[in-house]
Amino acid sequence: MGSPADDVTATARMIPMLPCGDVDELVAFWTDLGLEVVYRQTRPNPYVALKRGGVELHYYGMPGWDRDQNHSTCAIAVADTAPLHELFADGLRARYGRLPLSGVPRITRPRRRSDNAGLSGFSLVDPAGNWVRVSRAPDLADDVPVAAGEGATTSWAPSGEGRVIRALDSAVVLADSHGDETQARKILAGALDRAPDAPLAERAPALAYLAELAVRLEDAAAARAAQDALAAAVAEPGALDALDPDDRQAVDAAVAASASLDI
């Protein structure tokens, strides 16, 4: 039998309250991305609540707010990250005429995260510099190998994958979770250089992500070089014929992701 506190917390909701310099800017941003205002306050302090279904974000205004010094973040757990990413991406394209991958605001693509049990996730940095992190919630049907790590953390334990894919997983954590695109690119480029004979199913996603990292670092020449390397790898005689259906799907997805980059 649970305690009264257990009964209360069983139906409780925890709502993130994030800082910003201008609540009107956040209202315009999030309504373009599909949320709606459910509460607004102007005095004594500016405050706004936005919501769509179970996704709820609250913002409070702070004079002199410096978004470049912002470390605030929140998490959204969903059954599937793809539809929410599509909603946000469509809103961003309509608002900015492109999908912003660098600067503020910006968004990453849904990818598995080795620091989150291999579950798919993406991050959106709002105009105030807050990180909104979206992750697929695990369920009992997931067959995900999880191993205890240092400090009672959990880490994803992939099996049967090569050096390039492991480097790709590390690069995704560095760039998409921590915002360190420079180190992510260094790790991924190094792994690709050291494994020139890696299977196409490994090289293609890595090259596509390397191109994206270059875009995020505003290095158009490097982005095109990675795209060219991907195109050359795919064009090798018999390269696609040797792939099984799962690997072919991964390669096709990498080619599509690379082609969609705004360079």
Q: Is the pLDDT of residue 102 over 70?
A: yes
Give the per-residue pLDDT at 237.
87
> 236 or 138: whose pLDDT is higher?
236
135 φ/ψ sector (left φ>0, alpha ψ -120 to 50, else beta): beta
Residue 194 has which token pair?
């050291």
Q: How many CB atoms lie within 10 A of CB 191?
A: 23
Give the per-residue pLDDT at 181.
96
Give the per-residue pLDDT at 87.
97
Share of the chain above pLDDT 70, in %: 91
Give the per-residue pLDDT at 243.
87
Q: What is the pLDDT of residues 107-130, one digit of tens each?
A: 999 988 877 777 889 999 999 999
Q: Is the pLDDT of residue 161 over 60?
A: yes
Residue 176 CA to residue 171 CA, distance in Å, equals 8
Give the domains, in start order, of the chain with CATH numbers.
158-263 (1.25.40)
Residue 113 CA to residue 75 CA, distance in Å, equals 14
Confidence of residue 149 (pLDDT cuts 50, 70, 90): very low
Confidence of residue 1 (pLDDT cuts 50, 70, 90): low
Q: Is the pLDDT of residue 154 over 50?
A: no
Q: What is the pLDDT of residues 201-244, one digit of tens each?
A: 999 999 999 999 999 999 999 999 999 999 999 998 888 888 88
Instruction: With H, G, I as helix, E, B as strand and everything else as coil, classify residue 48.
Output: strand
Residue 46 CA to residue 17 CA, distance in Å, equals 12
Mean pLDDT of all residues in 250-260: 92
